[in-house]
Structure 1
Amino acid sequence: MEWTQRHKSPFVSTTFSFIWAIWEATRRYRVGLKHDIEIAVIDSRMLAGRAATTLELLRKGTPKERHLDYWKWYRYALESQNVLVHGSIPAPAVLTSVPLLSLVDKLPAYLLRQECDHTKLLSPFDSLSWDTMDRKPSFRQFCQDMSDQFLRLPTEHRLRDATGGSVRLAMAFLRPWFHKVVAKDFTNATETACTLAFIIAQWPAQWWSRDHVEMWSVIRSLVQAVAEEVREKRRSELAEEVRRPQGV
């Protein structure tokens, strides 16, 4: 559909790709007028039966039914990992909704400009290593450039980005939900955070991540340490609330 008609669609557009969400949100923020942009993290298990990938839907049609722009849409669906949800997304399925600006300084180093003075930047987006003001950006080129930048880093820096950097970004995405859930369901909180951190860690170079299996245990250890710290803090806060005299 044309962008002017999208509000009439019975579908809500989402994505399986965290990096597409960041890239697209940044593009909309920089070239559009709307700046209250947030990225929501959705539990896809709660959308069973009402969601399908755009690729699935495109592949269902016969060659004779294909629109002239079929391959253009196909390429877009492949790059964006787009998922269409019929109707609406139930509130319990939305784990968090995080302002884009709160994520910028939590991104791994390979997505940021190297050796820039952050105190002199006019905008937080000026720290990003891709041209966020490009009127005709290419997601494919963006992916290639960021992967190349990651692979140019020294090995120890790559490991740092793939472990600590991935956990940091995963926690930035999940923070409100994680802090609420970790005291009640420690396993669910840590497994969810690990799953997202694993996805982030593999993105810049999957073949490289397969050759460094040690980073999976490092990620688990980091998530476990953060979770234990947050859980103890939450318990202390709850205990303090119980001890505090209640006003009448």
Structure 2
Amino acid sequence: MLVLLPPSETKAEGGSGAPLDLDLLSHPELNPVRGGLVDALVALAADVPASLVALGLSERQSGEVARNAELRRSPTLPALARYTGVLYDALALTSFTKAERDRAHRRLAVASALFGLLGGGDPVPAYRLSGGSALPAVGPLAALWRPALEPVLTGSDDFVVDLRSSPYNSLARVPGAVVVRVVTEDAKGRRNAVSHFNKAHKGRLAHALVKSRAEPGDLRGLVRVATKAGFRLEPTGVRAADLVV
């Protein structure tokens, strides 16, 4: 099983790992695109006003541009420790045992605007680049990533559970994945997508999928694991399910 997580705009500071080495990341076939994007982001960081515009940042966030300038020199952290925010708080990586953390590194992958697809343990620096961004030297990221990333995801032998958000769905389609939607249900059975707590519920589901020793290989198995963990996950199609909260 491979669970695709969205990244977060916020990143943990610092790290104890050596600087970025693309050859240490999963899926080395993505390295040509990764290297080009890193170069473009570092070059853009030399022009702070242009970086702020391209990245959709305010002047108060100019520190994010400084991070990008140091991309090739700053220390690294495992991907699941680098990303922060609501989903990753709910994932609660620090609560896992060593065996569970190893399982998290195997089962969880992060969709990244800069790196395409990261294994949970891949060493990455702090950076700022969103899925909806368009860099002046590159253009829209979806046009760049789709030809490289879709063959990697569609060629996987793993059962894929897609928890990505829409800006990252656009970077690569995964036709064989099970897409999970977080919804509420009213007294008449009508369902509405959850927006505010969407990330927290996805983080909790990912946590449960790591904790389980079971290895679901299809939607039925996924529902079984989720139900055992106390979730209400209901199939809504051959490759779709609603997480009812």
Range class of TM-score, shorter chain? under 0.3
Point out the structure with the larger helix share: 1
TM-score w.r.t. structure 2 length?
0.25
Larger radius of gyration: 1
Higher relative CO (Cα under 8 Å, sequence separation at least 6) belongs to 2
